[in-house]
């Protein structure tokens, strides 16, 4: 039987605590353990600190997410500490306390874990704990709820001084099992990992039980007439109509990905009278407002307000929000402060509908929304017992524009070419469409896999990484209602749509006299009409966003080349090719580019060829079907077979940052077919 190491026990405890949202938010809080291990140089045992590193998540923490430091060196920093005015310098000093190689970078909270005299420490951000921490009389409530078992620590920004403060408080209160950090969260300690975890849970559960027992029944005030939740279908329809506009407003300074939730906790908050006051106070826990901004933008209209009135008011409120945020920045910035990072909201609340949250990618946007739900829960608890009183705007600014936070942002990797873009690809569960979706996702786009087969679309989305990267939706492109439903799902999943690829298609290889009216209508409905419907729905979204966009048609060499026995297919491809030109002219004023790609001979991996087209074309050319790809390659100028990935390359290129001034173009991806040269 293997005996767990100190690090193993710490990881197991962290995963248990982090997997339950009542204990802490995503990527919030940190845990630590102290122990001994041999010094690799001397072979002698040295005291070490294992602590969750910067940016990690407790629920998924692994060994590589821990920072390991020598305690003697870390504690030695106390003697060189220059004072609170220069405490940020201590973070760089942590690097000189590291033991061994690898592991995570030490976080700002490392001092708390190293300086407090306890073998095991948890620092968490539970909603119930922060509710006590943000109550106007939080210190008195802490004493009333916990007696002397839990000690109040006045607000102080995370850092070296906070570690010294908690160390002194623990030493002065040997009976204490932990503390409530004003405006922030809780900490607990223990002699064993089990004891520390039990004490953390005791503090959290005791606080939650006290709120439940003693809190007033309507902490958010009485219900507001007309502000209750709309019926589900109605509110989601309204959300889909508002989402592109809201995303455009939230992206004025920098493009954002969106997330929507109509969770009961959000709808309940917005349905009661105190939500405007509480929302204007903003969040308090640093982990919260670093992701949600100081406060949300709240639509001040009832749930049944029209789409038109809601949009008009949202635009007015956005102007006010930007001015207010600029004033907040100007009031607190100093000559050394980083430049303003944008004045758009990260959270937008719409009564009766729900919450829209935004970030540089889907995960960031989703987590921002989750953090605001944490904030709502905090406000509920604080208002149930007392009065919610977050830390001051000055303190919020000092953390939001902290030099250490700025340095963390500057270390982030350079965004990929299609980061912050939302792409919808039709016929994307297989073949060329799947290759395009895969390439766009690899370039950083959020992708909507639209396909007639919902199950296969969802399977393809899962392969790309799941809902933070891709979603699968059903889409019969020949049905206007189905197209609109797919577009609504896209905007609710990611906030909007920036890039559409009309790829859905099929083909029947028949000569003129054997082509039926049904054959003709089927191909034209799917490709000519389908592309028109998808482009129309996408254009509405893109115009509402005011962020430009791309529409790409996967046409064909046959749109310009007259081949045998495919009258219906080639005619509808020619229709698609001309739609490119028409829409390029019409949509250019909105910054929307429209381009086409003309593939030829894509046999391997092609859904069309697998569906019988390949067999028919092989028969037409008098060759075996398995040699069709080789046949097509040999008739090209380059003598190369065309694969779905080659078409995907063209789609990524024409929609990427190097082709911002090209519209109305058709790109051949056919290895060179002289008869299909564009003239």
**Do 262 and 364 touch, CB atoms closer than 8 A?**
no
Show the 3-state SS of 460-491. HHHHHCCCCCEEEEECCCCCHHHHHHHHHHHH
Catalytic residue among 401, 553, 569, 632: 569
**How many other C-beta atoms are found inside a 10 Å radius of the C-beta of residue 5?**
14
Could you give the CA distance from residue 90 to residue 645 in angstroms, rounded to a whole number? 50
Q: What is the CA radius of gyration of the chain?
A: 30
List, in sequence order, every residue forming a beta bridge with 51; answer none if it has no partner: 32, 67
Angle between helices 232-250 and 307-332 (to 10 degrees): 40
Q: Where are any strands of DSSP class E within 132-192?
A: 150-153, 178-181, 185-190
Active site residue 26: no
Q: Rounded CA gap, 503 and 134, in Å? A: 53
608 to each of 118, 432, 438, 615, 648, how far by Cα in Å? 67, 9, 19, 11, 16
- What HEC string does 28-90 produce? CCEEEEEEEEECCCCCCEEEEEEEECCCCCHHHCCHHHEEEEEHHHHHHHHHCCCCHHHCCHH
List of E strands, 233-285: 257-261
Residues 6 or more apart from 526 whose CB is under 8 A from it?
477, 478, 504, 505, 506
Task: Kindly list the distances between the CA atom of residue 377 and the CA atoms of 105, 129, 267, 417, in Å, as whole numbers in the listed order.
Answer: 31, 11, 13, 38
Q: Which residues make Cβ contacts (< 8 Å) with residue 358, sequence separation at least 6?
A: 247, 250, 251, 256, 257, 258, 259, 344, 345, 346, 347, 348, 365, 368, 495
Judge contact between 114 and 187, C-beta under 8 A. no
Residues with a known catalytic role: 569
């Amino acid at each position: 039987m293997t005996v767990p190491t100190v690090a193993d026990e710490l990881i197991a405890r962290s995963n248990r605590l982090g997997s339950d949202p009542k204990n802490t938010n995503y990527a919030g809080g940190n845990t630590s353990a102290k122990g001994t291990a041999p010094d690799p140089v001397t072979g002698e045992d040295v005291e070490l600190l294992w602590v969750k590193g910067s940016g990690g998540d407790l629920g998924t923490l692994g060994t590589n997410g821990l920072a390991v430091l020598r305690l003697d060196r870390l504690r030695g920093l106390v003697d060189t500490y220059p004072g609170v005015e220069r405490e940020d310098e201590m973070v760089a000093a942590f690097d000189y306390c590291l033991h061994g190689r690898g592991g995570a970078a030490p976080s700002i909270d490392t001092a708390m874990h190293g300086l407090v005299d306890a073998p095991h420490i948890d620092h968490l951000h539970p909603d119930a704990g922060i509710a006590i921490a943000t109550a106007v009389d939080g210190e008195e409530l802490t004493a009333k709820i916990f007696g002397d078992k839990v000690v109040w620590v006045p607000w102080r920004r995370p850092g070296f001084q906070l570690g010294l403060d908690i160390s002194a408080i623990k030493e002065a209160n040997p009976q204490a099992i932990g503390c409530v950090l004003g405006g922030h969260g809780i900490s607990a300690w223990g002699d064993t990992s089990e004891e520390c975890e039990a004490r953390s849970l005791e503090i959290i559960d005791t606080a939650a039980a006290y709120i439940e027992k003693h809190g007033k029944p309507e902490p958010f005030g009485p219900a507001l007439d007309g502000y209750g939740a709309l019926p589900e279908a109605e509110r989601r329809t309204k959300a889909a109509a508002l989402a592109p506009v809201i995303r455009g407003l939230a992206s004025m300074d920098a493009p954002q990905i969106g997330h929507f939730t109509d969770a009961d906790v959000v709808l309940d908050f917005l349905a009661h009278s105190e939500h405007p006051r509480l929302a204007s106070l903003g969040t308090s826990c640093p982990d919260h407002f670093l992701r949600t901004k100081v406060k949300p933008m709240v639509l001040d209209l009832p749930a049944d307000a029209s789409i038109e009135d809601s949009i008009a008011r949202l635009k007015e409120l956005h102007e006010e929000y930007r001015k207010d945020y600029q004033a907040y920045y100007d009031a607190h910035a100093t000559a050394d402060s980083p430049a303003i990072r944008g004045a758009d909201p990260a959270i937008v609340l719409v009564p009766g509908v729900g919450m829209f949250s935004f970030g540089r990618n889907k995960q960031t946007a989703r987590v921002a929304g989750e953090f605001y739900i944490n904030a709502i829960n905090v406000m509920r608890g604080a208002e149930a017992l007392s009065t919610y009183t977050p830390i001051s705007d000055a303190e919020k600014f000092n953390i939001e524009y902290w030099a250490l936070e700025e340095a963390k942002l500057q270390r982030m990797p350079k965004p990929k070419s299609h980061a912050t873009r939302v792409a919808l690809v039709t016929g994307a569960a297989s073949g060329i469409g799947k290759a395009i979706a895969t390439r766009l996702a690899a370039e950083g786009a959020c992708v909507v896999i639209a396909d007639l087969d919902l199950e296969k679309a969802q399977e393809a989305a899962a392969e790309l990484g799941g809902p933070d990267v891709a979603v699968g939706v059903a889409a019969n492109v020949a049905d206007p209602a189905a197209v609109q439903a797919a577009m609504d799902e896209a905007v609710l999943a990611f906030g909007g749509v920036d890039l559409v690829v009309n790829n859905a298609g099929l083909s029947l290889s028949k000569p003129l006299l054997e082509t039926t009216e049904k054959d003709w209508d089927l191909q034209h409905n799917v490709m000519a009409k389908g592309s028109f419907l998808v482009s129309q729905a996408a254009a509405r979204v893109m115009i509402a966003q005011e962020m430009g966009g791309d529409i790409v048609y996967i046409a064909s060499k046959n749109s310009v080349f007259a081949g045998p026995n495919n009258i219906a297919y080639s005619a509808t491809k020619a229709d698609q090719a001309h739609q490119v030109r028409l829409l390029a002219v019409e949509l250019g004023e909105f910054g929307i580019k429209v381009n086409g790609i003309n593939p030829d001979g894509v046999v391997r991996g092609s859904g069309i060829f697998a569906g019988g087209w390949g067999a028919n074309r092989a028969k037409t050319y008098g060759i075996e079907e398995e040699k069709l790809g080789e046949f097509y390659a040999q008739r090209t100028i380059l003598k190369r077979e065309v694969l779905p990935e080659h078409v995907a390359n063209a789609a990524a290129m024409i929609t990427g940052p190097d082709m911002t001034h090209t519209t109305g173009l058709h790109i051949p991806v056919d290895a060179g077919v002289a008869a299909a040269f564009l003239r």
